Structure 1
């Protein structure tokens, strides 16, 4: 008898890229489902944001050109999601009773994005030598060197000081993003609570470090809790001000056509920040795979004189990657909509 535990789900891609805690989180949302013979699982052209994995049974895939494929549960091919395209490129109908499970792509992408962002939480790598010189260290960061002087003045004007006691929670996991924080004095602990209730320590932040930007860039809920370890203070910048003064001037979204033109002219390097397994299934010719969780380490391999274009499946991870590279002095843009957007654009062009 098969036990549907983490060992079972770790057979499937890209679930096998998740940490134990994140995989357990995902498993808590998954139910093994049954479908009778001749049941349609989806139709060609559907835009459902789901990944369907076949555990047992046979599914018939009907292609637009009249061709047919069969996928049988328990085979190597069934370790990948069924027709992982948006919109769907074929119609899937069960040939016999089938056992399967469904993963929400939005939540899976959130876990992958969080997990690959360097110890599962995106922090600005700004080390302050002295707590009292927080403004000088902030102004010397690569990020602030990329924004107009007028924006710098506005950032410093709109930042507000907030004092916190030891043990006080600054941001809660699951909350919507509202502020970007920069630690002026004291230290903070970053933790994540799994569905099992286990609290996992992710990082310790010191004076001179910032946090909270990733959720505002990706428009996802907070993926961790940040608690003040020692009584201290932070400077915080409201989301609207962050987007206006920091995100907009430093983060550039480009279309696939623009990216292709730059690459054709030899003026850029395409970096695919998805996981290795995602990249191996499909990738654009000429792209270099550097998963976002390795980007901090491997950024030194990139040519700072060359424009960097980042890419993922839907644009969320690549936006975070572009912002991370810009913090380090690169000139990075990301392809708006990612591979899903590219495919939709190409299909629209073919339909004209």
Structure 2
């Protein structure tokens, strides 16, 4: 599949793209792609996640059952081709090209968010935080593509964007300092920052480098603890920041999907989820839930790639503070994550 640029004039022929306002169409087009496929090439398989809304622009597709049985044909110009192709998630059918075809791929989550805002008449990306227009609004679109932000009610996201405060920093300026109290959640609009952690009698450890669209500062706000790392600008940087109380009310609370122990245990027992213990290894060795994986919170971001993204993870710790942070981090990166309500049960 070779992607190419998307012209918004295409949107008027397809549902519900044609219902979006021009501003929303322009933002969505920047995050869409035109896929050129060869005859015989698989578009998707039954069971795949429908992360993209797909439209047949040119050509012909064969829809098949999970077992490969032909079900129907989809051809350019037919009424059915004006709609998304088998958009249920996970996909209930497979699709294969029977001739060379062009397929428009649109971010499904972003489309859903924009439809909601457009239909309530309450949001236009370009209208929000307009004082950042000189450095572009791609950071907003990147935020809206994150699964965690797509899970937040549109009214909360609208309020969040309206409450964000503009903040500028020079190269080498410390934005948050390890050991300080948490006060703001930050989003980088333009520029780059470095994340470091101080250790007793050792050189500071470099943890990550952040660029436009990246977020930081949530750990201390969720856990109500001191900053666990220092973030310093590498270049002149434009940021937006959200005060602690606004962050908790608008972002963290809607994302905190809690499961009672009985329901969580049933999901694990039936193979629909796995336990993830975010405490220290010493705590984990002393007591743990059967079958749990231990990945301490301070290692979570660096070791995310070791976690299967197709698995549902149920996070726990003793007090729910560390696991709440972990759920935010995982959902932000596209994982399906829940919080064990009341934390690790005490042994009888």
Length-normalised TM-score, structure 1: 0.53
Aligned to 1:331: 336
Do the aligned partners of residues 164 and 153 (structure 1) sit closer, same or farther apart at CA in structure 2, a change above 3 Å counting? Answer: same
For structure 2, list consecutive stretches of 5 or more residues without a partner in the other structure: 1-133
Do the aligned partners of residues 275 and 193 (structure 1) sit closer, same or farther apart at CA in structure 2, a change above 3 Å counting? Answer: closer
Report SS of the residue matched to 1:175.
coil
Do the aligned partners of residues 169 and 319 (structure 1) sit closer, same or farther apart at CA in structure 2, a change above 3 Å counting? Answer: same
Q: What is the rounded CA distance, in whole Å, between the counterparts of 1:302 and 1:211 in structure 2?
A: 22
Aligned to 1:36: none
Instruction: Please tell me whether residue 162 in structure 1 is matched to residue 167 in structure 2.
Output: yes
Report SS of the residue matched to 2:236.
strand
For structure 1, list consecutive stretches of 5 or more residues without a partner in the other structure: 1-129, 348-352
Report SS of the residue matched to 1:230.
coil
Contact 2:146 2:334 in 1 (8 A): no
Residue 179 of structure 1 deviates from its aligned partner by: 0.6
Q: 1:296 aligns with which of 281, 304, 314?
A: 304
Residue 208 of structure 1 deviates from its aligned partner by: 2.0
Residue 145 of structure 1 deviates from its aligned partner by: 1.3
Length-normalised TM-score, structure 2: 0.54
Aligned to 1:230: 235
Q: What is the rounded CA distance, in whole Å, between the counterparts of 1:187 and 1:265 in structure 2?
A: 44
Please give the residue correspondences for 1:83-162 in structure 2 after superposition, counting only pairs within 5 Å.
132=136, 133-162=138-167
Q: What is the rounded CA distance, in whole Å, between the counterparts of 2:290 and 2:229 in structure 1?
A: 36
> What value does the CA root-mean-square deviation take over the aligned residues?
2.7
Residue 197 of structure 1 deviates from its aligned partner by: 7.5
Residue 276 of structure 1 deviates from its aligned partner by: 4.9
Deviates more, 1:235-244 or 1:317-326: 317-326
Q: What is the rounded CA distance, in whole Å, between the counterparts of 2:197 and 2:292 in structure 1?
A: 33
Residue 181 of structure 1 deviates from its aligned partner by: 0.5
Do the aligned partners of residues 272 and 202 (structure 1) sit closer, same or farther apart at CA in structure 2, a change above 3 Å counting? Answer: closer
Residue 298 of structure 1 deviates from its aligned partner by: 2.1
Aligned to 2:218: 213
Q: What is the rounded CA distance, in whole Å, between the counterparts of 2:269 and 2:232 in structure 1?
A: 48
Aligned length in residues:
211
- State the structure with bigger RCO (CA 8 A, min sep 6), 1 or 2: 1
